[in-house]
Amino acid sequence: KIQPGSGELPDSSLVPSAVCEYGADSAGLSAEAGDGAQLGRPLGPTPSQSRFQVDLVSEAHKPEKGSEEAKGRFRVNFVDHSAGSSSPEHGEGGGGGGGGVSFQNGDTLLSESSLHSGGTGGGAGHHHYYYDTHTNTYYLRTFGHNTIDAVPRIDYYRQTAADLGEKLLRPSLAELHDEFDKEPFEDGFANGEEGTPTGEVGASDKGVVKFGWIKGVLVRCMLNIWGVMLFIRLSWIVGQAGIGLTIVVISVATVVTTITGLSTSAIATNGFIRGGGAYYLISRSLGPEFGGAIGLIFAFANAVAVAMYVVGFAETVVDLLKDNGALMVDEINDIRIIGAITVVILLGISVAGMEWEAKAQIVLLVVLLLAIGDFVIGTFIPMEDKKPKGFFGYNVDIFTENFGPDFRGETFFTIFAIFFPAATGILAGANISGDLADPQLAIPRGTMLAILITTLVYMGIAVSVGSCVVRDATGNFNNSLSAELTNCTNAACKLNFDFSSCKVPQKCKYGLMEDFQVMSMVSGFAPLITAGIFSATLSSALASLVSAPKVFQALCKDNIYPGLEMFSKGYGKNNEPLRGYLLTFFIALGFILIAELNVIAPIISNFFLASYALINFSVFHASLAKSPGWRPAFKYYNMWISLIGALLCCGVMFVINWWAALLTYVIVIGLFIYVTYKKPDVNWGSSTQALTYLNALQHSIRLTGVEDHVKNFRPQCLVLIGTPNSRPALLNLVHAFTKNVGLMICGHVRMGPRRQAIKELSTDQSRYQRWLIKNKMKAFYTPVHAEDLRDGTQYLMQAAGLGRMRPNTLVIGFKKNWLQSDMKDVENYINILHDAFDFQYGIVVIRLKEGLDISHLQGQEEVSSQEKSPSSKDVVVNVDYSKKVEADASKSYSSCSEKSPVMQKDEEEDGKTPTQPLLKEEPKGPDTPLSIVDQRLLDASRQFQKKQGKSTIDVWWLFDDGGLTLLIPYLLTTKKKWKESKIRVFMGGKINRIDHDRRAMATLLSKFRIDFSDIMVLGDINTKPKKANIIAFEEMIEPFRLHEDDKEQDVADKMKEEEPWRITDNELELFKTKTHRQIRLNELLKEHSSTANLIVMSLPIARKGAVSSALYMAWIEALSKNLPPILLVRGNHQSVLTFYS
């Protein structure tokens, strides 16, 4: 414990492993903590005693020892006493290099004097640097004062896998606020902070390859965007659409990719991102449902894209072989052979590591740029032998002629569909986000620049080729003209060539329309263009071969799809997904061997577009949800532009191929439904959660402005249940009539020592709410701490709920053991009913003859159902200081739980915190036989979980309470488990008017549109009960009577004052008729409703102050004993039913 001024730390169990301690032997870098007079004076190091070593580190991911531009950031580490001393000069030198020691993230503390003078040391030379022992701990000297309070620093906000060091725990509120003799709270991850999956944190970052924005993003994106389309399809597109429409096609494609690039940049700069590219961005923004769906098809699309690009490469090689007469087998099989060999080589490069792959990409980019340069140079060197093939050099006439479209069997949309895949590939850099040194900087900068450069090149080449080459050419020198021919008007004629014979389709082999190899023909050195085609296809294939496993690995790590965890394993210092590489290789190889990619190509394009659409939608959704956590560093985005981008992507999907678009939608929706159904146990703070909250908030506020209407009345129940799993019958029955109809709040009043109870409230809140969700209970768990049950219930009745969603009905279990209980508890119980009426609540008292509370059986029941941990043999009990509403447990049990609150944190089935505290007390195996009483109690507790069959619900609507007594059974019959049950209505009446009363009730029920099977009017309710039952009642209340007639007046008055629950003779005589009615009703209930599945009956009301608690309790006891499950209901006498429309 921390004693003031002692300078000692709390117990070591509260301090993380990297914590530094104050103490006499750590004076090397700290002031004497207890010496208040010396706080301002920095002490010099004592070499032999120093435990710390000051390392200069940069803010980059890889620590650079001795770096001079490290911006004065220090890390203090433990060193062994025997390992020598750490010198402060080491730190000073680095600090000077950075222009002075900066007070950054709390890593370096100056002395008080230097703080006051601005904190800029370094150059001045006269400041003493003060390295405190607080680094890597939260016990630090804040602004020169001895306190464990922490100054803001980055390490408190890290997740557990920080590249620059471990996540540090700031001092908990309890450590700062609690009295010294109190135990602080255990601190875990709060507010859904993400822990890191096992194996993600490497022991050392040494040797890990991280790329900057040029090598990691710009090069990759440019290579992926420039595909084979640039060399063998762009000239044909210019021929069909003309220069003008080609520019439009390129622009529209660029608009889609630019908007997606802006959205990607926004998400990528909204916090630290790990590996997984598009999947990681979408899943962390929209949640696992969308992320899981897109992740799978995106990884698959990349794997098949490898096959597409490799086949494109193989086709080019086979064309060369064919031209030279060197085919191996035949065209199709040659493509398969070359494709298979190529993909094996690419796999080898990928498996060799990201560094080799990056080097290969650089080489390919150089080749690609040379090829583009070769073409540009070629356009300026017109050669006579190329003129018959349609190439004349730059010419205004050719430009004018080629500017407009000349569609031959194509349309604008088909041309766009052919070109658009050439603009994709913008996520190539984002897909390796885990291998980037600074993804937040690299992704926006690299992606946007790549889009700009590639778009300009596409447009430049389109204009260039359209200005040099005519649409049709024969390739024949004999078509040259003598200057005098005048009836020919096209550009070729003006250049003395007559290609008019090409008007016959398929006649000519040259020109923009017919020759796919125009760029080779135009270029200065044709083999370079072939090399460019090779480079474009292989680089795209290589990028896809790397992207697919990385995305798939991230998907498998999150365990969205059970059974795929084996692919999450990484190897080597770079965590390479070798298994993913092999899977991608086999998928690619399979599609290469099929060699029919014309069908698969549009599906792949649509898969990519679906991920683009969702990235755009993610930005719109996050902005719409107004989550405080959405604050991207990249500001050049707009939520509405992102929405337009998402809609554009969806539209382009249909333009490219309508059936492929529909197939993509079906697959995405199918995977979305699957992941939603599986409900992966993850919490990523997605915008879906934020929007759900925002909608709930807005609707709640809107609801408060609407006046209640009787047609919209819903029973909104506050159920006094204790822990939700301790009274399953109560929970299941109330859930049956509130599910999807009204609010249900499980109230739990915690009593006993305040410190213990307050400490457990927050853990209970999340634990039991999760238990309710896991058991598909649509309810809220609300615990409160109070001195006694009545106070706690008053708090709940006044404060539970929100706006219009507030409880209006109190549901409480019958206090079965009231005859043996302390009468103060009985008084409290009855006062709760009075309080509920005071607060205008309706009341439902539920009684099962076996009882409700099964907490003392919970251990055996849970252990026997725990398939995952059969070895667990702990008895689960409620370490709860309250005397429960339904306290079936014996005195010895409750005293045991009060004396030994030893909480064992055991793992529950879902691996989270347990739903019940475990008490290591009297271990019983699952095969311990239960007593007959306990077995009956257990069976009774489960009776409302099963289908009720053709049973009856008997409604004894004796007094009009507004209709709640009738509404609850009606709501029950609308549920699946109670659907076959029939309602029978019982009512009181006069013997001579039974038929009239029955008809009147039947009319009322039909107007209420409530089905009933029978109505019984009882004319003998006021008959005197059997003598034996009266005697039994009197014997029951005998211990609680005052007998004031047998005592002195003052003695009787004093006794009544001290024990107000006692029954006076006067009171007993006054309410004799009412007492007899309860006894008589019990006889009638046994006579008419003993076979009912459920009885719903009007609860008798006792006037406050006139009827003692003991008598009221005795009435309820007499009325409801030895019966099937019974609900004693009393509304608040406001109408809850109406027959008006």
Helix axes 1072-1088 and 1027-1037, enclosed angle (nearest 10) = 120
What is the C-alpha to C-alpha distance for residues 438 and 212, in angstroms, rounded to an integer?
Answer: 7
What is the C-alpha to C-alpha distance for residues 517 and 233, in angstroms, rounded to an integer?
Answer: 9
Confidence of residue 644 (pLDDT cuts 50, 70, 90): very high
Claim: this prediction has a pTM higher than 0.85:
no
* CA within 13 Å, CB half, 646: 16
Question: Which range (306-320, 800-814, 925-939) has the least confidence?
Answer: 925-939
Phi, psi of 391, deg, nearest 5: -100, 120
What is the C-alpha to C-alpha distance for residues 351 and 335, in angstroms, rounded to an integer?
Answer: 24
pLDDT > 90? residue 542: no
Which residues, at least 6 apart from 804, have a Cβ–Cβ distance to it below 8 Å?
Answer: 700, 703, 704, 706, 708
More confident site: 867 or 4: 4
pLDDT > 70? residue 476: yes
Question: Which range (7-21, 225-239, 826-840, 998-1012) has the least confidence?
Answer: 7-21
For range 78-98, the mean pLDDT: 39
Q: Per residue in 140-180, pLDDT tens?
A: 444 545 567 777 777 776 766 545 556 778 777 777 777 66
More confident site: 230 or 95: 230
Question: Which range (453-462, 901-910, 984-993) has the least confidence?
Answer: 901-910
Structure tokens at 763: 């853990």
Over the Cα atoms of the chain, what is R_g? 41
pLDDT > 60? residue 920: no
For range 956-964, the mean pLDDT: 87
The H helix count followed by the E strand count for the chain is 36, 18
Structure tokens at 427: 């996520």
Mean pLDDT computed over every residue of the chain: 75
CB 201 within 8 A of CB 160: yes
Q: Strands 780-785 and 744-750, how do they pair?
A: parallel
More confident site: 944 or 5: 944
Confidence of residue 604 (pLDDT cuts 50, 70, 90): confident
What is the C-alpha to C-alpha distance for residues 1023 and 191, in angstroms, rounded to an integer?
Answer: 64
More confident site: 502 or 1097: 1097
Name which of 804, 808, 723, 821 is nearest 764 in CA terms. Answer: 723
pLDDT at position 851, please? 86
CB 956 within 8 A of CB 1085: yes
Helices (H), 411-504: 412-419, 439-468, 491-494
- Please state, as a whole number, how many other Cβ atoms lie within 10 Å of the Cβ of residue 706: 10
What is the C-alpha to C-alpha distance for residues 560 and 564, in angstroms, rounded to an integer?
Answer: 9
What is the C-alpha to C-alpha distance for residues 1067 and 1080, in angstroms, rounded to an integer?
Answer: 19
Confidence of residue 449 (pLDDT cuts 50, 70, 90): very high
Helix axes 412-419 and 234-268, enclosed angle (nearest 10) = 60
- 230, 232, 233, 237: CA torsion to nearest 10: 100
Amino acid at the residue 11: D
CB 25 within 8 A of CB 45: no
For range 62-88, the mean pLDDT: 40
pLDDT at position 40, please? 41
Q: List the beta strands (DSSP E) in 895-940.
A: 918-919
Question: Which range (37-41, 598-602, 1039-1043) has the least confidence?
Answer: 37-41
Bridge partners (DSSP) listed for residue 145? 142
Phi, psi of 1034, deg, nearest 5: -65, -35
Q: Per residue in 998-1049, pLDDT tens?
A: 888 888 888 888 888 888 888 888 888 889 999 999 889 888 888 877 778 8
Confidence of residue 373 (pLDDT cuts 50, 70, 90): very high
pLDDT at position 203, please? 38
More confident site: 13 or 586: 586
